Amino acid sequence: MLRAVGAAVALPWLEAMQPLSALAVTPKRPKLRVCYLYFPNGVAKGGWEPDKVGGDGELLKLNKWMKDLEPFKEDILVARNIWTPRGNGHGAGTATWLTGGSYSGSRVSAGGASVDQIIARQVGKDTMLPSLDMSMKGEGYFSNSLPRNTISWVGEKLPATRDTNPRTIYDRMFRKASDGVIDKGVIDLVNVQAKSLKRRVGRMDQQKIDEYLESLRAVERRMEFAEKSTLGQVKGVKFIRPQLGIPDNHEEYMRTMMDLMVLGFWSGATRVGSLMLDHGQSNRYFDFIDGVRGTWHALSHYRDTSGKTEDDDGINSWKSVSEKRDMYNMITAWHNRQFAYMLGKMKSIDEGNGTLLENSMLLYGSSLGDGHAHGEENLPVVFAGGGGGTIKNGRFLKYRKNYSLSKYHLATLQRMGVAAEEFADAESPMSGLTKDV
């Protein structure tokens, strides 16, 4: 740790941290991390199928809506016929995506604890934060709906608290509350210790420290810029510390949240994280994407073009199904681009025995298949990361019939050291992670 009055920065693994007796042997792979990234409203039918697949299942070319993930073909698995047998829809499907149970609105029950919180109980005792539970601030009518805003459950009736504000999350990881709030950046506070440490370690470790601290600086700069923009709208008011606020630019906001997740994993502050990219029935407008009109939820019902259904905003209508479906697909592509950004960050971090991405397991996807049909079948999911060397990526997993997502959850539990032989409806872990289906 780098410590100063007002800040404590956990350091990533350095070569200097190894005992001398271990220098002559291959360093152990860093501890595995697990991450869940959820998006609502499903995808258009066919919008998740790769364009070209080899005879052995090798991913040769992704479709045009997934083109930003093309550089990461060898780091991901795309699957057909993944489903959640006990829950679908905007409410129940969101609430049970990580529990494999069924949601009861009358009892506010998700059927059990979610996979991320079960893992957090096992590995969280060794980290500052048992889990990092984050969400983009919701937009639209259902922003206050409990099941639509919850994928993580501490128990079957107790949802995990989610943070939506980047400053709050950053302070939880890097500022010491006992010292109060000091109007200085974290890097400024620990700079003296950082310089002292760099004089005592080797060149490779010096580079790692510089890269890590620069990542912290980048997040601070991004938050400060967003907060100054907000402060500029409040004339005549001075703040000792920038006010807590949500960035107006949605892409900057999402990428800042992803940066924070990566920093949490890299620093060792946590090994478990989840990020909801919106609530489970998002009515967000994506008009900032050229050519897109209407809310995300309305566009997901792409076969209704009149603009007069209960899902529409009463303002927009569309000429044809293909026009509306293309707009829906453009929102899917936009989110795939953000996920690719996070994969790129994780892949760029060398931990000495594999990259951060290789030492992680990520699930990215939705609890709806075809958004118009509200289907629970053929869910759009991407499995990413090397699982500490236990996963063979770069393939399209073509399950012949409905295959429970709970099997992936069970496989993740076992890789994270949880003694589990079953999870929800799964009595065996997911096949195909280490070999062709």
Q: Based on the domain organization, do 275 and 314 belong to the same domain?
A: yes
pLDDT computed for residue 295 by the predictor: 95
Contact assessment for residue 387 and residue 433, using Cβ atoms and an 8 Å cutoff: yes
In a domain, 15, yes or no: no
**Mean per-residue pLDDT, 102-119:** 91
pLDDT computed for residue 437 by the predictor: 43
Indicate if the alpha-carbon torsion angle 24, 350, 259, 130 is positive or negative: negative
pLDDT computed for residue 199 by the predictor: 63
Q: Based on the domain organization, do 218 and 339 belong to the same domain?
A: no
Q: Which pLDDT band, with edges at 50, 70 and 90, does 71 fall under?
A: very high
pLDDT digits 0-9 by tens, 347-366: 998 888 899 999 999 999 99
Q: Based on the domain organization, do 293 and 389 belong to the same domain?
A: yes
pLDDT digits 0-9 by tens, 325-349: 999 999 999 999 999 999 999 999 8
SS3 417: coil
Q: Based on the domain organization, do 260 and 294 belong to the same domain?
A: yes
Cβ contacts of residue 418 below 8 Å, gap of 6+? 118, 119, 122
In a domain, 24, yes or no: no
pLDDT computed for residue 168 by the predictor: 85
Q: Based on the domain organization, do 270 and 395 belong to the same domain?
A: yes
Predicted confidence (pLDDT) at residue 55 exceeds the cutoff of 50: yes
In a domain, 309, yes or no: yes
Q: Based on the domain organization, do 150 and 264 belong to the same domain?
A: yes
Q: Based on the domain organization, do 241 and 259 belong to the same domain?
A: no
Q: Which pLDDT band, with edges at 50, 70 and 90, does 104 fall under?
A: confident
Residue bearing the bigger pLDDT, 145 or 231: 145
Q: Based on the domain organization, do 130 and 185 belong to the same domain?
A: no
Residue written as token pair 């919701």:
138
SS3 401: strand
Backbone angles phi, psi at 400, to 5 degrees: -75, -25
Predicted confidence (pLDDT) at residue 234 exceeds the cutoff of 50: no
- The whole-angstrom separation of Cα 433 and Cα 77 is 8
**Mean per-residue pLDDT, 43-72:** 96
In a domain, 329, yes or no: yes
Predicted confidence (pLDDT) at residue 130 exceeds the cutoff of 80: yes
pLDDT computed for residue 8 by the predictor: 60
Predicted confidence (pLDDT) at residue 143 exceeds the cutoff of 70: yes
In a domain, 369, yes or no: yes
Question: Which of 245, 260, 293 lies at the terminal end of a domain, its last residue?
Answer: 245
3-state SS, one letter per residue, for 21-38: HHCCCCCCCCCCEEEEEE
Contact assessment for residue 318 and residue 305, using Cβ atoms and an 8 Å cutoff: yes
Q: Which pLDDT band, with edges at 50, 70 and 90, does 230 fall under?
A: very low
3-state SS, one letter per residue, for 37-62: EECCCCECCCCCCCCEECCCCEEEEC
pLDDT computed for residue 4 by the predictor: 47
Predicted confidence (pLDDT) at residue 142 exceeds the cutoff of 50: yes
Q: Based on the domain organization, do 260 and 379 belong to the same domain?
A: yes
pLDDT computed for residue 10 by the predictor: 63
- The whole-angstrom separation of Cα 205 and Cα 79 is 39
Predicted confidence (pLDDT) at residue 46 exceeds the cutoff of 80: yes
Q: Based on the domain organization, do 363 and 338 belong to the same domain?
A: yes
pLDDT computed for residue 185 by the predictor: 62
In a domain, 38, yes or no: yes
Dmax over Cα atoms in the chain, in whole Å? 72
In a domain, 376, yes or no: yes
pLDDT computed for residue 405 by the predictor: 96
Q: Based on the domain organization, do 189 and 149 belong to the same domain?
A: no
Provide the domain count of the chain.
2
Question: Which of 229, 245, 261 lies at the terminal end of a domain, its last residue?
Answer: 245
pLDDT computed for residue 223 by the predictor: 65
pLDDT digits 0-9 by tens, 372-406: 988 888 999 999 999 999 999 999 999 989 999 99
Question: Which of 245, 279, 304 lies at the terminal end of a domain, its last residue?
Answer: 245
pLDDT computed for residue 238 by the predictor: 34
Residue bearing the bigger pLDDT, 10 or 170: 170
% of residues, the chain, pLDDT over 90: 59
Q: Based on the domain organization, do 92 and 238 belong to the same domain?
A: no
**Mean per-residue pLDDT, 257-265:** 92
- The whole-angstrom separation of Cα 177 and Cα 100 is 37
Residue written as token pair 């949500």:
246
> What is the CATH number for 60?
3.40.720
**Mean per-residue pLDDT, 74-96:** 87
In a domain, 191, yes or no: yes
pLDDT computed for residue 140 by the predictor: 72
Q: Which domain holds residue 200?
A: 177-245
